Amino acid sequence: MSGTIMNELIQAIKQERRRIEEPRNRSRYFMFGKVDERHDRQGYFVTFENVSDRVLRDARWSAGLNAPSLFKIGDIFIQGTMDIITKGIKVSFHPDEIENLNIDMAAIKRIMDVGIDYIMDNRE
């Protein structure tokens, strides 16, 4: 009996693991209240003052590992980095990532006026 339950548990975990491999199925946290923005050859940088505690915890964690984070701009997913600064959370996107979006920079800036979704990577 316990072997069957254990097998079902293992299969359920594998199924959930496959489900969250797709970024659309992961938890999202909305960041808003743009207080600063800069776009130059080094990339696009935007700072939001309103973020959830979960985003703050993940920003601390990813900064220690220098790991990229995933964000959703409109319907598009993009990798970037997060830094905690005095004004809030600064999100940075590399110029190559922006170029791969194939979207007008003015459109991205308009979307950022509303906010951006941080996509939590809870696969670990």
Helix, strand or coil, per DSSP, at residue 51: coil
Q: How many CB atoms lie within 10 A of CB 65?
A: 7
For residue 124, is pLDDT > 80? no
Residue-wise pLDDT tens digits, 24-50: 877 889 999 999 999 999 999 999 999
- Domain range list for the chain: 27-119
- Nearest in space to 111 (alpha carbons), one of 29, 32, 56: 32
Question: Does position 10 have pLDDT exceeding 70, yes or no?
Answer: yes
- Burial of 14 by CB count in 10 Å (0-12 exposed, 13-18 middle, 19+ buried)? exposed
Q: What's the predicted TM-score (pTM) here? A: 0.79
- pLDDT band, very low/low/confident/very high, at 122 (cuts 50, 70, 90): low
pLDDT computed for residue 19 by the predictor: 75
How sure is the predictor about 61, in pLDDT bands with cuts at 50, 70 and 90? confident
Cβ-contact 89, 82 below 8 angstroms: yes
Reported confidence tier of residue 80, pLDDT bands at 50, 70, 90: very high
Number of helices followed by number of strands (H, E) in the chain: 4, 6
Written as six digits, the tokens of 43 are 């990339």
